Amino acid sequence: MRSVERVRDDACPGGRGHTAVVVGSDDGLLDVVVPWLEAGLAAGDVTVLSCAEETAELLRSAVGAPDTELLSDPRVALRGARAPDAVVATRRLLDRAAASPSGSLRVLGAPEFGPDPRTWREGQRYESVVNDLLAGSPLDALCFYDQRQLSAEVVASAGQTHPHLLLDGVRVASAGYLPPAQYLPALPLPREPMEDGPPLFAVDGAEELAPLRHQLAAVLATCVPDREQVGDLHLAVSEIAANAFRHGTPPVSARVWASPDRVVCTISDRGAGFADPLAGFQPAHGDDLSRGGMGLWLARKLWDHVDLVPGPGGLTVRLSSPLH
């Protein structure tokens, strides 16, 4: 019989934090996770599953809790959502938890990393930045990394992006943890393969923002068949171009590459770029969108992959997405 007392918080007073656990079977998952979920329900936490629906059903059955008690929100773990929207979803759950008996939120997550290193990087970034974005919140998040589904590289990154690990039912400090300001710059930023070929569109030394925006709209319209997607992609790249003109150092350059299933766009200037590792994961000025500061945030909301690539000649913002 499983015991709630098995999960001890020796290195995390109050039982709150961002913790990872590695599992390799359904039984191993249940042994670790069920006591942790039961503890949250017993304490009156708002308790949420953010994982594949079949896993959620397995856990509900094992806990014996209906979905009215053991809630589900896949977005928190990047399932059907990009990082800025996952952060918003978590904050809304925190607002809901504020009215709960404990005032706390407990989230079990199986982060979505996708099929290749490009998508792994987005998941790893998110797992890192939430440590700062949600610092001080009444949140206990346990992320399980399933060795049957994730690459060895992704599993190994759990210790770098989580301040705590769950080992044999005991929460301990992760010796390999790196705060976002150290972890994010160390992530590799390989070139997109299309960057090695000729661009569909190229401009160097753009003199004004408005003509560049029109040019980008025209080229995206030729290579992005979905009208809604082309509107979203153009809105975001226009804001990145605006940032380059307003806050960067001229000259401003732009490139677009396209294939039948993917589009890549870069905006470059001679500036030093963003020092804040959290840039773009939330609006620069918080909830007051009237103050601006939304360019990189919109890009992360509307493009699948956003890379800030510093170089000796300045900063390049690289945007890429699969085509719908």
Question: With respect to CATH, is domain 193-322 assigned 3.30.565.10?
Answer: yes
Distance CA 280, CA 146 (A): 29
Distance CA 230, CA 211 (A): 18
| Contact predicate 86/107, CB 8 Å | no
pLDDT value at 13 more than 60? no
Average pLDDT of the residues in 169-187: 94
What residues pair up with 50 in beta bridges, in sequence order? 109
Backbone angles phi, psi at 66, to 5 degrees: -75, 170
Of residues 38 and 278, more confidently modeled = 38
Average pLDDT of the residues in 152-158: 97
All structural domains of the chain with their residue ranges: 4-186, 193-322
pLDDT value at 12 more than 50? no
Amino acid in position 53: E
Return the pLDDT at 4: 34
Amino acid in position 279: A
Return the pLDDT at 6: 41
Return the pLDDT at 1: 32
> What fold, for 4-186?
Rossmann fold (3.40.50)
Return the pLDDT at 293: 57
| Contact predicate 246/292, CB 8 Å | no
Average pLDDT of the residues in 10-23: 71
Question: From the centroid of its chain, how far is CA 10?
Answer: 28
pLDDT tens, residue by residue, 47-56:
999 999 999 9
Beta strands in 73-200 (DSSP E): 105-109, 139-146, 164-167, 170-173
* Inter-CA distances, 204 with 66, 146, 177, 229, 266, Å: 59, 46, 41, 26, 12
pLDDT value at 188 more than 70? yes
pLDDT value at 219 more than 90? yes
Return the pLDDT at 180: 95
pLDDT tens, residue by residue, 140-150:
999 999 999 99
Average pLDDT of the residues in 105-119: 95
pLDDT value at 210 more than 80? yes
pLDDT value at 185 more than 70? yes
pLDDT value at 7 more than 80? no
Residue 170 exposure: Cα atoms within 13 Å on the Cβ side: 5
Share of the chain above pLDDT 70, in %: 91
pLDDT tens, residue by residue, 254-282:
999 999 999 999 999 998 766 677 888 98
Return the pLDDT at 276: 77
Return the pLDDT at 285: 53
Order of all β-strands in the sheet with 105-109: 70-72, 46-50, 105-109, 139-146, 17-23, 164-167, 170-173
Of residues 117 and 283, more confidently modeled = 117
Backbone angles phi, psi at 244, to 5 degrees: -65, -40
* Inter-CA distances, 237 with 100, 123, 202, 261, 284, Å: 41, 22, 14, 19, 17
pLDDT value at 3 more than 70? no
Please, which pLDDT band fits residue 292 given cuts at 50, 70 and 90? very low
| Contact predicate 313/295, CB 8 Å | no
Distance CA 240, CA 230 (A): 15
Ranking 1-15, 153-167, 230-244 by mean pLDDT, the lowest is 1-15
In the block, tokens 């996952």 appear at 86
pLDDT value at 212 more than 70? yes
Question: From the centroid of its chain, how far is CA 176?
Answer: 20
Average pLDDT of the residues in 151-159: 97
What residues pair up with 313 in beta bridges, in sequence order? none
What residues pair up with 109 in beta bridges, in sequence order? 50, 143
Closest CA to 73 of 89, 55, 95: 89
Backbone angles phi, psi at 100, to 5 degrees: -80, 165
